[in-house]
Protein backbone atom coordinates (compact mmCIF):
# COMPACT_ATOMS: atom_id res chain seq x y z
CA UNK A 1 0.00 0.00 0.00
CA UNK A 2 1.44 3.40 -0.90
CA UNK A 3 2.53 5.53 2.06
CA UNK A 4 0.29 8.41 1.02
CA UNK A 5 -2.78 6.25 0.30
CA UNK A 6 -4.37 7.00 3.65
CA UNK A 7 -4.41 10.73 3.00
CA UNK A 8 -7.58 11.99 1.30
CA UNK A 9 -6.01 15.46 1.17
CA UNK A 10 -3.02 14.17 -0.80
CA UNK A 11 -5.34 12.25 -3.14
CA UNK A 12 -7.34 15.41 -3.85
CA UNK A 13 -4.18 17.47 -4.37
CA UNK A 14 -2.62 15.01 -6.85
CA UNK A 15 -5.92 14.47 -8.63
CA UNK A 16 -6.39 18.24 -8.95
CA UNK A 17 -2.97 18.33 -10.64
CA UNK A 18 -4.15 15.65 -13.09
CA UNK A 19 -7.29 17.68 -13.80
CA UNK A 20 -5.14 20.75 -14.46
CA UNK A 21 -3.04 18.73 -16.92
CA UNK A 22 -6.21 17.84 -18.82
CA UNK A 23 -6.60 21.52 -19.66
CA UNK A 24 -3.25 21.35 -21.52
CA UNK A 25 -4.61 18.82 -24.02
CA UNK A 26 -5.05 19.83 -27.63
CA UNK A 27 -8.80 19.95 -28.28
CA UNK A 28 -10.30 16.95 -30.05
CA UNK A 29 -13.85 16.18 -31.12
CA UNK A 30 -13.12 12.45 -31.06
CA UNK A 31 -11.47 11.97 -27.66
CA UNK A 32 -11.57 13.21 -24.08
CA UNK A 33 -9.00 15.59 -22.62
CA UNK A 34 -7.38 13.73 -19.72
CA UNK A 35 -4.46 14.38 -17.39
CA UNK A 36 -2.49 11.83 -15.37
CA UNK A 37 0.08 11.96 -12.58
CA UNK A 38 1.95 8.91 -11.27
CA UNK A 39 3.15 9.28 -7.70
CA UNK A 40 5.45 6.85 -5.87
CA UNK A 41 4.58 5.60 -2.40
CA UNK A 42 6.96 8.16 -0.87
CA UNK A 43 5.17 11.04 -2.61
CA UNK A 44 7.70 11.49 -5.43
CA UNK A 45 6.18 12.33 -8.81
CA UNK A 46 7.37 9.65 -11.23
CA UNK A 47 5.72 11.05 -14.35
CA UNK A 48 2.89 13.13 -15.73
CA UNK A 49 1.04 12.93 -19.01
CA UNK A 50 -1.94 14.25 -20.89
CA UNK A 51 -4.01 13.19 -23.86
CA UNK A 52 -2.44 13.85 -27.25
CA UNK A 53 0.82 14.88 -25.55
CA UNK A 54 3.11 13.53 -28.28
CA UNK A 55 0.59 12.30 -30.86
CA UNK A 56 -3.09 12.43 -31.75
CA UNK A 57 -3.87 9.02 -30.25
CA UNK A 58 -2.00 9.33 -26.92
CA UNK A 59 -3.99 8.74 -23.76
CA UNK A 60 -2.84 10.46 -20.57
CA UNK A 61 -2.10 7.29 -18.59
CA UNK A 62 -0.25 5.81 -21.56
CA UNK A 63 1.86 8.99 -21.97
CA UNK A 64 2.78 9.04 -18.28
CA UNK A 65 3.61 5.33 -18.08
CA UNK A 66 5.81 5.61 -21.19
CA UNK A 67 8.10 7.98 -19.26
CA UNK A 68 8.89 5.41 -16.56
CA UNK A 69 11.23 2.46 -16.88
CA UNK A 70 8.92 -0.60 -16.68
CA UNK A 71 11.38 -2.16 -14.22
CA UNK A 72 11.26 0.80 -11.82
CA UNK A 73 10.54 -0.75 -8.42
CA UNK A 74 8.65 2.37 -7.30
CA UNK A 75 5.75 1.38 -9.56
CA UNK A 76 4.89 -1.36 -7.05
CA UNK A 77 3.90 1.30 -4.49
CA UNK A 78 2.66 3.99 -6.87
CA UNK A 79 -0.71 5.61 -7.35
CA UNK A 80 -1.85 6.71 -10.79
CA UNK A 81 -4.09 9.77 -10.67
CA UNK A 82 -6.23 10.27 -13.76
CA UNK A 83 -8.83 12.95 -14.32
CA UNK A 84 -11.00 10.40 -16.17
CA UNK A 85 -11.59 6.72 -15.52
CA UNK A 86 -8.86 4.78 -17.38
CA UNK A 87 -10.13 3.29 -20.63
CA UNK A 88 -10.96 -0.39 -20.99
CA UNK A 89 -11.46 -0.29 -24.77
CA UNK A 90 -9.44 1.45 -27.47
CA UNK A 91 -9.86 1.80 -31.18
CA UNK A 92 -6.52 3.52 -31.77
CA UNK A 93 -4.10 1.19 -29.97
CA UNK A 94 -3.89 -2.54 -29.21
CA UNK A 95 -3.81 -2.10 -25.41
CA UNK A 96 -6.19 -0.13 -23.22
CA UNK A 97 -4.97 2.07 -20.39
CA UNK A 98 -6.34 -0.42 -17.85
CA UNK A 99 -4.20 -3.13 -19.47
CA UNK A 100 -1.13 -0.86 -19.38
CA UNK A 101 -1.71 0.01 -15.71
CA UNK A 102 -2.13 -3.64 -14.73
CA UNK A 103 0.95 -4.68 -16.73
CA UNK A 104 3.01 -1.92 -15.06
CA UNK A 105 2.06 -3.27 -11.63
CA UNK A 106 0.55 -0.02 -10.36
CA UNK A 107 -1.49 -1.08 -7.30
CA UNK A 108 -3.72 1.98 -6.93
CA UNK A 109 -5.67 4.30 -9.25
CA UNK A 110 -7.57 7.45 -8.26
CA UNK A 111 -9.84 9.22 -10.74
CA UNK A 112 -12.45 11.98 -10.73
CA UNK A 113 -15.00 11.20 -13.43
CA UNK A 114 -16.35 7.93 -14.81
CA UNK A 115 -16.01 7.90 -18.56
CA UNK A 116 -19.37 8.78 -20.11
CA UNK A 117 -20.58 6.55 -22.94
CA UNK A 118 -19.75 9.08 -25.64
CA UNK A 119 -17.22 6.99 -27.55
CA UNK A 120 -17.12 3.55 -25.91
CA UNK A 121 -18.70 1.63 -23.04
CA UNK A 122 -15.95 1.93 -20.42
CA UNK A 123 -15.56 -0.53 -17.55
CA UNK A 124 -12.09 0.61 -16.50
CA UNK A 125 -12.77 0.79 -12.77
CA UNK A 126 -14.29 -2.69 -12.75
CA UNK A 127 -11.47 -4.13 -14.86
CA UNK A 128 -8.85 -2.68 -12.54
CA UNK A 129 -10.63 -3.93 -9.41
CA UNK A 130 -10.95 -7.42 -10.89
CA UNK A 131 -7.16 -7.38 -11.38
CA UNK A 132 -6.61 -6.48 -7.72
CA UNK A 133 -5.94 -2.77 -8.20
CA UNK A 134 -7.37 -0.48 -5.53
CA UNK A 135 -9.63 2.06 -7.24
CA UNK A 136 -10.73 5.30 -5.62
CA UNK A 137 -13.21 7.68 -7.21
CA UNK A 138 -13.30 11.32 -6.08
CA UNK A 139 -16.44 12.61 -7.81
CA UNK A 140 -16.28 16.09 -6.27
CA UNK A 141 -13.61 16.90 -8.91
CA UNK A 142 -15.70 15.49 -11.78
CA UNK A 143 -17.32 18.84 -12.65
CA UNK A 144 -13.90 20.32 -13.46
CA UNK A 145 -13.12 17.39 -15.77
CA UNK A 146 -16.49 17.70 -17.46
CA UNK A 147 -15.85 21.42 -17.99
CA UNK A 148 -12.53 20.70 -19.77
CA UNK A 149 -14.49 18.33 -22.03
CA UNK A 150 -17.63 20.45 -22.41
CA UNK A 151 -17.09 20.80 -26.18
CA UNK A 152 -17.95 17.09 -26.55
CA UNK A 153 -21.45 17.62 -25.15
CA UNK A 154 -22.62 20.63 -27.16
Distance CA(48)–CA(87), nearest Å, equals 17
Q: Which residues contact 149 (CB under 8 A, 6 or more apart)?
A: 22, 32, 33
Looking at the DSSP assignment, which residues form a beta bridge with residue 106? none
Q: Are 136 and 108 in contact, with CB atoms under 8 Å apart?
A: yes
Alpha helices in 105-141 (DSSP H): 124-130
Residue 127: other Cβ atoms inside 10 A: 22
Cα separation values, 96 from 3, 37, 88, 125, Å:
27, 17, 5, 12
Determine which one of 9, 53, 61, 99 is catalytic.
61
**Known catalytic membership, residue 62:** no
Q: What are the catalytic residues?
A: 61
Amino acid sequence: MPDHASSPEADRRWLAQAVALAAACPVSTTAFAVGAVIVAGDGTVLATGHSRETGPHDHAEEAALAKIDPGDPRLASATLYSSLEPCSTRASRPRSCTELIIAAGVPRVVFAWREPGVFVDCVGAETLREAGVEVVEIPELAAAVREVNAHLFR
